[in-house]
Amino acid sequence: MEARVRGGVDRYHLRPQVQALTISGTPPKIEKKRMLEKLRKKQRTSPVNLAESRPWADLPKELLEIFSKSNNLNVADFLNFGKVCRSWRLFYSETKNTFMASKPPLVIYIPTRAKKSCYFYEITSLDTFKTKLPSLARNFCIGLSNGYLIMEDILTNVWVINPITGHELRYPRLFEAPNYLCCPDRAAFASIGDAKDNFLLAVLSPVYHTLMFFVSRVNRWQEFSFKGKTWSIMDIVVFGGRIFCITSEYQIGVLSVKTCEVILLNLKGLPQLSDVQHVRFVASKNQLLIVDFSLRTYHLELYTINFFKMEWVKVNHLRDEHEAIFLSEMSSRLNNTKKWGGESNCLYYLPFMDNTCYISSLKGEIMGHFPIVKQQVALRMNGWYFPDQCFSIENVRDE
Pair (66, 186) in one structural domain = no
**pLDDT the model gives residue 30:** 44
Flag whether 378 is in a domain.
yes
User: Parallel, antiparallel, or unpaired for β 311-315 and 252-256?
Assistant: unpaired
Pair (115, 185) in one structural domain = yes
Side chain identity, residue 48 = V
Of the residues 102, 117, 132, the one at which a domain ends: 102
Q: Into how many domains does the chain fold?
A: 2
CA contacts within 13 A on the Cβ side of 266 = 0
Give the span between the Cα atoms of 26 and 23, in whole angstroms. 8
Flag whether 188 is in a domain.
yes
Pair (79, 162) in one structural domain = no
Pair (83, 112) in one structural domain = no
Higher pLDDT, 9 or 90: 90
Q: Is 302 helix (H, G, I), strand (E, B) or coil?
A: strand
Flag whether 6 is in a domain.
no
Torsion of CA 97, 99, 101, 106, to 10 degrees: -120
- Answer yes or no: are the C-beta atoms of 188 and 236 closer than 8 Å: yes
How much of the chain, in percent, has pLDDT values that exceed 90? 30
Report the chain's mean pLDDT, rounded to a whole number.
79
Burial 147-181 (b: 16+ CB within 10 A, else e): bbbbbbbeebbbbbbbbbeeeebebeebbeeebee
Burial 221-238 (b: 16+ CB within 10 A, else e): beebebeeeeeebbbbbb
Pair (110, 63) in one structural domain = no
Of the residues 70, 102, 134, the one at which a domain ends: 102
Flag whether 239 is in a domain.
yes
pLDDT band at 24 (very low <50, low <70, confident <90, very high): very low
325-367 tens-digit pLDDT: 999 988 899 999 988 889 999 999 998 888 889 999 988 888 9
Pair (315, 361) in one structural domain = yes
Measured over the CA atoms of residue 353, residue 355, residue 357 and residue 358, the dihedral's sign is: negative
Full residue range of the structural domain in which residue 66 is found: 58-102
Q: What is the CATH classification number for the domain harbouring 189?
A: 2.120.10
Residue among 108, 189, 198, 201 at smallest CA distance from 146: 189
**pLDDT the model gives residue 358:** 92
Pair (171, 93) in one structural domain = no
- Answer yes or no: are the C-beta atoms of 368 and 140 closer than 8 Å: no
Residue among 195, 288, 184 at smallest CA distance from 242: 288
Flag whether 146 is in a domain.
yes
Pair (80, 215) in one structural domain = no
Pair (107, 93) in one structural domain = no
Give the span between the Cα atoms of 155 and 178, in whole angstroms. 5
Pair (316, 210) in one structural domain = yes
**pLDDT the model gives residue 1:** 40
Flag whether 268 is in a domain.
yes
Of 163-177, 242-256, 368-382, minimum mean pLDDT range: 368-382
Pair (299, 249) in one structural domain = yes
pLDDT of 163 > 70? The answer is yes
Give the span between the Cα atoms of 225 and 276, in whole angstroms. 20
Flag whether 3 is in a domain.
no
Higher pLDDT, 212 or 41: 212
Give the span between the Cα atoms of 247 and 230, in whole angstroms. 10
Flag whether 342 is in a domain.
yes
User: Parallel, antiparallel, or unpaired for β 186-192 and 220-225?
Assistant: unpaired
Going by the DSSP 8-state scheme, the letter that residue 49 receives in this structure is: -
Pair (118, 90) in one structural domain = no
Going by the DSSP 8-state scheme, the letter that residue 37 receives in this structure is: H
